[in-house]
Structure 1
Amino acid sequence: MIRIAWVAGALVVLVTGVIVAGRTARRHDHPGVVPYALLAVLLAGMGATIAFSRSGLVPIELDAISELLLIGGYAFASLLWIAFVFEYTGRGPAMTPRRWAGIVLLGGLTVTSTAVTWAQQTARLQVGLLGQLSSLTTFVLQVAVFSLGLLGVVLLVRSAVTYDDLARDSAVAFALTGVGITFLPIAIGYGGQLGGDSIYRVVFVQLAAVVGVLAWTAFGTDAFERGAAAGHLARKTALDAMSVPVLVVDREDRLLDVNQAAAETFDVETTRLRHHSLADVTDVPEDPPADRPVTLRTTTGRREFAVDRTEITGTDGDVLGRAYRFRDVTDRKTREQRLQVLNRVIRHNLRNDLDAIRGFAEPIRDEELPAGEASQYFDRIETLATELVDLADAVDRSQRVLTGDPLERTQCDLVTIARSVAGSATDADVTLDLPGAVVIRSDPDAIESVLTELLDNAITHTDRTPPSVTVCIHSTADGGRIEVADDGPGIPPEERNPLLEGEETPSRHSSGIGLWLVSWTVTRLGGELAFDERDPRGSVVIVDLPDLERSNQFGPPDT
């Protein structure tokens, strides 16, 4: 007996789905069109199959396998739904051919596992342990498919409510579609509990309703005329376009978002943001000082940043999180230091030495000195001139350090560099305290210049003959450490303090430029410079250098 109502329902649903797919497919260049069209055809096909099977017009019998076919169709419908949401809203991964293949594979696995479980439960196939494993696998896969469908609804609502990216009518239509698809298993289960043809009526009504909503969206709204607004995408693009690192955290200091500059500077794995806190990424103070920079670990070693913190508040004024903006001032501060040092060199060192040369030269010119004393004046003039040449060389080296080519990042052995530099110091007794090897990724030429400058400084300012210097190399958690110790009079506080405090003043400054050159090079290498006293006399200069391959990595996730 032919049931006209079922035939009419099948034709209406099938024709509606085809028309919806055809209308949306004409806008194939719009995001989300392909999965939307496929979704319309799939849901219409499922509804038509059910209706024709109950109409008596087509010899289709679904009684035995109805739930299996419905669950299989639901799996692919839910996966097409989440693919549509990802593409349409832009709030998800791009649907590449590989990801489409993954969707097909996940749907196929769900259908296959469900079929094995169904065969085991209906005694049509006895597969023993495989059947038991398939029950667990089916449960996991169906939960995953359901969760993805629900995620699509959440993303759509969030785009409409939080980001105002969707028109209200489009958002309502899409949300109803997602709810209808996601909760289809509930309709299947409810209809099955009612018995008889109830499962077909309940499921058909829900499928027809969803197809109707799809038609309303395609014909009654301009959802595919303008697409989703680019509000959140524009904000994300603007954030990534910023050249300075930006980190966004919630009120518990858990990472919410980072821009590309922050990901590169602090080595942030953007796919695992919620697993980490601000402290895992960088040791910035919760309330950073506004009047001075802070030193932080980065992928290029330790750098100095001026940090701005902005509170993110809700409409009721409650603090929801904070945004941190980091401006790297390392190079600017180094340039300021160099200007201070050059000003002092011109104002103090150069003028004083030239005044001294003139003072020694005038008596010689006027022939007012005995021959022996004139010779001593000549020696003094030569010494001062040599010091001025050395000073000019140091200024030239500082220029190359600050404006030269970018630093290399190659594997270099601190022990090998120390042996090479110590071997060239023939006018001192250099003792090496070295392990087998300390290999880090850094710039070997810059490290060699640091060690050469430290040895020269220790030899030049000693009061012992011959000078005695000890070079120690150690491995550290972040890289390597170089220690240069001498037995001279030590480095006086007036030489150390400007370096440690990072500035010179007319009343407080060092006398040379060598240690500043070391400080600037170490800073550029991302390292740290420190001083200590040696027992019983002398000083120790300590240089900590990071391995630029592992200088900043995520700490352990919050537990």
Structure 2
Amino acid sequence: MTRLLVAHALLFVVTALVCLAGIPRARKIQHAGTREGLLGLLVSVTIWAGGYVGYLFAPTIEWKLGFYILGSVFAFVAVGAWLYFCAAYTGRPPRNAPYRTTAVGAFLALAALKITNPLHELYFTATWATNPFPHLAITHQPLYWISLGITYVISGIGFFMLFEQFHHTGADTRPLLGLAGLTAIPAVVTVFSDELHDVLPLMYEPPGVALFAIGTLFVYNQRFEAIRSTADTDSPAIFLDRDDHILDYNEAAQAIFPALDGSIGSHIDAVRPALAGALPEQDVITVTENGTERAYEVSHTPFMAGEMETGKLVTITDVTERESYRQQLEAKTEQLETLNRVVRHDIRNDMAVVQGWADSLENHIDPAGEDALERVINKSDHVIELTDILADVVESVAGTGETAVEPTELARILETELAAVRESHSTAEIRVSGPIPAVSVQANEMLSSVFGNILENAVRHSDENPAAVEISCTEQAETVRVRFADTGPGVPDNQKEEIFGKGEKGLESPGSGIGLYLVHTLVEQFGGEVWVEDNDPKGAVFIVELRKAN
């Protein structure tokens, strides 16, 4: 066995082993299309190189021919896998590519011509030779050069996709450009193999693919993944290792943080401490650019090797308009809360004076004026009550964040409000039909405002004397319904939605004022529902459905 034969064999054996070693790593690539394409490339190149090894060492001419044809067929498979990989990596879904059926048909036709070459010899001819060592000499025919030209055109399209992608990111892609270039260099040997002394006329691209696989999967894996992640966005991005040291960044990130220039290998804290502080949780930082303050949201996507984080892609999104709106909203909310406190204070003080005057008139008025005085006192009580409702409305509407919901005892809240309305409306007939379930619901102490406002609304708007309200509860698997049935004038169908202040009219909708608007707002925040139906034979039924607490 000559050293030249061993050299040829080692070249393809090592290539196959390297590609096999890269398969487990390639399976960990997060992006499905990129993973499928690279796996297909590695497997096909492994078989391609293995076919050439079999061609060199097979014991008979028939076996040598068979292995050579196997290698040449999978060389064409590898080209298809390369194009699939490049398309997926650069954001062009291969499964949506045009002319897919035509491409598959052309591939099958060329593969059939290669397999049937012993019959027509349009692809190559084979003769036994002893120089530079005993081997089956391959002489390429026109069909080989045509198919080789096609494969190079297809491979060139893939290279164009990659180079365009590398340029688009604005990151330092020189290492990946170098790896892609190495993949193409063996093509020179392939084209001139017939003219080179001591070189068999084979296709020598497999070692280039092996070098590309080693580089992208083991040396520059994080940068390789990060560039694909930023393919479809112009957002500023910084690539960090697992210890938050800077591996790379794109031009858009450097435009915001000039300190990134020359920072490769430095900790992110050296660029801007606030940026480092925003990494643990998605946070917003402010940056002054040309005298103007802008807000950026910092988020990151981890790169994983199994269950271990190997690095992260930090994405920086301009949220200046959103933050400006949030600050304006907070300022208006604070103004609303201040106005609420001032107005409530002034109204309650003035109404206390009115009530004092009314009380002083009680012993100085004749029987004919007693009814009018009682109306004045009731109305002043109602105005003071409205200020309490207004406070609840402001708290529910202007509160920051989500409403805190917790298990709340239904019976305790409902019985307390029933006692309060019976005390303030002693002549009203407030009846409870059936037991109140001893369950907790998803709500909070503001549930008292829901029940209190519905009860007050039913009594105040009753056109019967005395007013009558019947309360009943229905327990279901996951919810509880509380029904408030009155015998008042009822609610017309065209007002059943508007009475809660729903729709465009809001608080100006017809109905009973802000009390029912508050009811709807609170119940919605609790995750429940409230609606009104007709009572039989007259009146309305207000139904509050609340979720049971787990």
TM-score in terms of structure 2 length:
0.41
Name the larger-Rg structure. Answer: 2
Q: 1 or 2 for the larger relative contact order (CA 8 Å, sep ≥6)?
A: 1
